[in-house]
Amino acid sequence: MRRPQLPEQAAECTGPFRLRRLVPDDLDEVLRIEQAAFAHPWTEELMRRELTHAWSTILVAEEPTDAGERIRGFVIFWLVHDELHVLNVATDPAQLRRGVAKALIAETLRVAKLSGAALATLEVRRTNTPAIKLYEEFGFRVVGVRPNYYADENEDGLVMLLDLP
C-alpha cells in the first residue's frame, strides 16, 4: 500500500475548483466544514489520524476569492491494493449545488484508476438522496444495506459499488 501520487492540480475539474492534497494547515477549515455538514462530525483526532496512513488521502477543493483561497469541500478515501473506498465527502453547506462534491468524486475516481484500482465502494445514508443521485451519475450502484450503520441517527447505510475500467 502506497500513497497515490497526485498532481498539484486535477487534470479535469468541474467548475472553478483547484483540487489538492490536504496539508495540516487546512485542518481548521476542513473541520469547520465537517461540523457544519454533519450532525455527528469526525473529530480532529480522526482527521489527523488519516494523515498518517499511507493508504489514506484527503483532497480539498479550493476556490480563489477576494480574501484568498477558500476550501469549499473535501473527500477522504483509501486506496488499498486494487480497491478504492470513499469514507467521507463534505461540501461547505453554503456552497451546495455548485459541483464541489462532483469535482472531488471525479478526481478521486481518476486517481484510483491511475493507481490500478479495479473497484470503488462507499456507504451512504439511505435518506441522502442528493448524494445517492450523484454517485449514480458516476455509475455506482446499490449492492447492499448495512442496517443501523449510522447508529447515532438509527439510519441504515446503503453500500454502493462501482467497477472501474
The tens place of each residue's pLDDT in the chain, 165 residues long, gives: 445 555 444 444 556 899 999 999 999 999 999 999 998 999 999 999 999 999 999 999 999 888 888 999 999 999 999 999 999 999 999 999 989 999 999 999 999 999 999 999 999 999 999 999 999 999 999 999 999 899 888 899 999 999 998
CB 83 within 8 A of CB 118: yes
47 located within any domain: yes
Number of domains observed in the structure of the chain: 1
Query: Which three-class secondary structure state does DSSP give residue 43?
Result: coil
The C-alpha cell at 58 is: 484527503
Helices of type H across 51-164:
100-114, 129-137
Find, among 132, 160, 135, 129, the residue nearest to 145 by Cα. 160
Q: Global pTM?
A: 0.89
Question: Which pLDDT score is estimated for 132?
Answer: 97
How many whole angstroms separate alpha carbon 4 and alpha carbon 123? 22
Find, among 54, 156, 135, 126, the residue nearest to 89 by Cα. 135
109 located within any domain: yes
Question: Which pLDDT score is estimated for 5?
Answer: 54
How many whole angstroms separate alpha carbon 137 and alpha carbon 134? 5
- Which domain CATH number covers 67? 3.40.630.30
What is the extent of the structural domain holding 87?
18-116
70 located within any domain: yes
94 located within any domain: yes
163 located within any domain: no
